Structures are given as structure tokens and as C-alpha cells.
Amino acid sequence: MKKTANSWVWAGVALLGVCAFSAGLWLRPMLPGGDTAQSGPQVAAGVVRGQPGPWGELGYTPISIAAPDEVLPLQAMEAKPLVWFWGSTTTAELSTFFASVGLSAAQSEQLLQPACVTVRPQGLELRPARDTVVALEPAARQELYKRLARYPENRDDFIYIPSVKLPELLRRSGVSPATADLARKWSCTYGRYTVYFGLACLLSSLPTYEDKVHFLKAVSRQATYLLHLHITPESDINALTRYWGKACWSSDTQAFLESLAAVRGGAWLDVIELLPPLPTSLLYTYPLSQNPLKGPVLIRDCHWTAFNFFRDLPDERYANPSFVFRHLHDDFTPVHGDTRYGDLVLLTKPDGSIIHSAVFLADGFVFSKNGDTDLHPWLICTLADLLEQYAFQVPPEQQLNVVFFRNKYY
């Protein structure tokens, strides 16, 4: 029932998107400052120069992070059944779709046998057999996963890993060649990414506890960035304070920047030192399991993360999509000019429905949580990263849009 209620909420958000489009406020996919993660000379040990702008002189360091062993949700993931949600469709329509993507008649029959099909009020669900999924051809699996990614009910089960980095991630986490080979049978490729879906069945196929932990740690590893701000005696501290000093922290920000400007030769400042308390405490960490004795388990997803960015203590009502929509409608306005620190970044489908939210930092970098499971950390990534990853959730003939909103009060 929760998913059904959410669909009504996001239908309202879609209407807001349509209104923004008709008012001329829709923004094409863009990268303020360009895709800085692709080029730039090194200006200090491990620091690559970004694009200068109102944020100042920025540098970045690519890093990766992985979940600690003690927070890996292994038992919870193994207990989760493999479910494909297909929305409002019929078995006859699915049979036609399966044939169109290259499944044999026998495979289609296996997937659609009555024991695997459940019709619920919100749509049709399939519980495919593990052997059927493993036997899928790569091209067919890609088309199936792309269609499944369009439905919010399936999105928690997707994991995206840059393909070029995957072999090293598996090696660093101690994944055996046999496990890596089996994992390939549960994945597909899309653009720069290897896409996994339904890891529960894969984990249950691995022979030892160590195999499972090593693989889960590998797929939890995420690429992210350290951001650095170069402060020198020549820096315009007032301008930097106007950019970075939002909400109630402007005086602290100015005092901090002034102290660095007095350093002979200047200094590189980690941008985490300029962020509000909540994102500072969350950045580069993985969620800890919540204690159910303290109340309902909350969904700390991208929207909870983005809308709580400037709050000293999080408002747990942002786990409720209807509250998110009401706050967006009442307290935010679409951005007409240049994007700046603290603006909401919304990725939307062509119909205006929102599939992801983040917070703009500087030079195309955003603060984000790219999923609501324990395998998704809070991190810094680029808009280019988000657009490529979330493009998997729209048909190939469609394109994601990026729209920005700014809080009316700061």
C-alpha cells in the first residue's frame, strides 16, 4: 500500500514539472561548470584543478569508499525474495515483450507459469526461478533490467558500478574468480556501468560466508570525491562567504575563511569543513541499521537527504513523499539564474516525475545518496555521474531532465 500511496504523490510532483515546463522554467540536462571529473591539471598532491567560479578555486580528488563488514546487510539481503514488479500489465503483454527482447518460448513460459505470477492492486509481480534468470542472454537481460528499472518498486534492488573499475573493486575485496564469473550472469552493461539486480539469489548461490561478504563489500564500494577549496591572501573572502555561508552559518564561514587567507602562500581547505552539521556527519558513511524498538524504520533516501541538508537535526517527515512534495511546493522556487551552493537538483523524466534529488555544491559536484538501502552511502558525485546512472530508468528514446530549485529563505 505504501508504494501505491507514493505513486499518487509523485503524480502531483509530475504535475509541478509539467507546470514548470509550460512556464518556460524547464532546464535541459546540463553541467554547471562542465564535467570537471574528466580533465584538469594536478595542482597539488592528489588534487586536480576544477573550473573556477563563484565558489572560488576548486580542486578534487577521486576516491572510493566501501561499507565496513559489520554494517553489510548480508542476512537481510539473502532473506529477500527475487521479485520483478511490472506495473499495470497482463501476462499476455509480458509474453509479447519477452519475445520482443529475444526470450525463447520456453523461457517465457517458465517466467509466466502461474506459480511465479502474483497480481496485486498496484500491479503484477513475477518471482522468477534462479536458473531461468542465469540462463538469460546478455542482450535480453539488459532489456529486461531496463524495463524493470522504470518502476520505483524495483529500484532498491539495482546496483550500478563503473565497468572499468569493477575488476579492481572485486580484486580489492577478495572476490574469487569463480564468484566474479557467477556474478556476471546476474548483471548487464549499460553505458559505463555494470548493473546488478536481485542480489539475494546471487548471494544464496555462493558457497561460503566469506564469498558472500567479499562480494557484497565489492558492490558496496562507491566512487566519490574529496573537494578542496584553495584560499590565498588574494581570495575575495566576502564573495566566498556569500557563496558558501548559507543558512545560519555565514559568520562562522567568514571567520574560518579569513583565518585561512592569512596563511602565507594559501591553503587547500576540504569543503566538508564548510558544510552544515548533518551532511558533514553523513558524508562518506553508510547507513547503520535502525532500531525497530524506537519506532517505524525510516526511509533515508535521496529526498530525505536533500531536503534535510541545512537542518541541524533531521526532520524525519522528509521520509514521507507527500511531505516532501508539499515542502517543495511551498518553500522552494525554480532557479532562473546560475546554480549555486545549496540548490536542490532534481532529475526528472520527460513527464515531469522526479526520480532523484541531490544538493548542488559547486562546479557540477553534488551531495547525494543514490539509493535508500544500506549499500548506498552519502557521497559527493557529479551531475554527469547521476545522469548516466539514472538514464537506465528511462527508455532509450527519452532523456532525463535536470531542474533546480532554491529555498526561499536562504
Do 373 and 157 form a contact (C-beta atoms < 8 A)? Answer: no
Do 270 and 284 form a contact (C-beta atoms < 8 A)? Answer: no
Closest-CA residue to 16 (of 397, 346, 390, 369)? 346
- Which letter, b or e, does each residue of 8-34 get, where b requires 16 or more Cβ atoms within 10 Å of its Cβ? ebbebbbebbeebbeeebbbeeebbbb
Mean pLDDT per block of 10 residues along the chain (410 residues) reads 38 39 30 40 74 95 89 81 91 94 93 92 90 89 91 85 87 90 87 85 86 90 93 95 86 90 91 94 88 73 94 88 89 92 94 92 96 88 92 83 92
Percent of the chain with pLDDT over 90: 46
**Beta bridge mates, 323:** none
Q: List Cα–Cα distances, 325 to 16, 26, 152, 200, in angstroms.
A: 9, 18, 17, 33
Q: How far apart are CA 82 and CA 201, in angstroms?
A: 7
pLDDT value at residue 241:
94
pLDDT value at residue 25:
29
pLDDT value at residue 43:
63
Which tens digit of pLDDT belongs to each residue from 196-249?
Answer: 888 888 888 888 899 999 998 898 888 899 999 999 999 999 999 999 998 777
Which tens digit of pLDDT belongs to each residue from 40-67?
Answer: 565 666 788 999 999 999 999 999 898 8
